[in-house]
């Protein structure tokens, strides 16, 4: 397993929420991340209605970790015409990743990922209060 900065790998299951910049409710998702060297890969799933498809929306993620920051791209398996960029900071004990997502030129918002078995989802919901971003 890769070890950076705090010595803890990001490999594992993560529960997350992302918020929209408008008055839409936050969307929960689950991510499985694999860290190998500085590379991050994995998969996510979330309610499909969040991107306009039925059932569950699945996606692949790929990106990099540099010390206490991550950046990755999420590409939906549903053939969605867009990819989503994520940039975040890892907390000291590598149990949370918090940052921003964006679809370049369209919109952006906040996200929070908590390592499965970590803090309660109530903390995630509190941190993702909409702030009227575009």
pLDDT in tens, 28-67: 999 999 999 999 999 999 988 877 777 899 999 999 999 9
Answer yes or no: is pLDDT of 118 > 90: no
Residue 132 lies in a domain: no
| Dihedral class, residue 19 (left if φ above 0, else alpha if ψ from -120 to 50, else beta) | beta
- For tokens 């993560």, the residue is 14
Please state the φ and ψ torsions of residue 97, each to the nearest 5 degrees.
Answer: -130, 125
How much is the pTM?
0.80
Residue 4 lies in a domain: no
C-alpha span between 111 and 28 (Å, rounded): 10
The total number of structural domains that make up the chain: 1
- CATH code of the domain covering residue 120: 2.40.128.120
């Amino acid at each position: 397993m890769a070890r950076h900065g705090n010595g803890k790998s990001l490999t594992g299951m993560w529960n997350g929420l992302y918020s929209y910049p408008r008055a839409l409710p936050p969307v929960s998702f689950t991510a499985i991340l694999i860290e190998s060297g500085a590379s991050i890969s994995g998969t996510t799933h979330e309610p499909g209605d969040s991107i306009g498809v039925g059932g569950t929306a699945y996606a692949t993620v790929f990106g990099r970790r540099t010390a206490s920051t991550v950046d990755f791209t999420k590409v939906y398996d549903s053939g969605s015409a867009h990819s989503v960029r994520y940039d975040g900071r890892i907390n000291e004990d590598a149990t949370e990743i918090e940052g921003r997502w964006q679809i370049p030129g369209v919109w952006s918002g906040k996200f929070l990922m908590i390592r499965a078995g970590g803090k309660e989802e109530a903390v995630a919901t509190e941190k993702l209060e909409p702030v009227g971003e575009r």
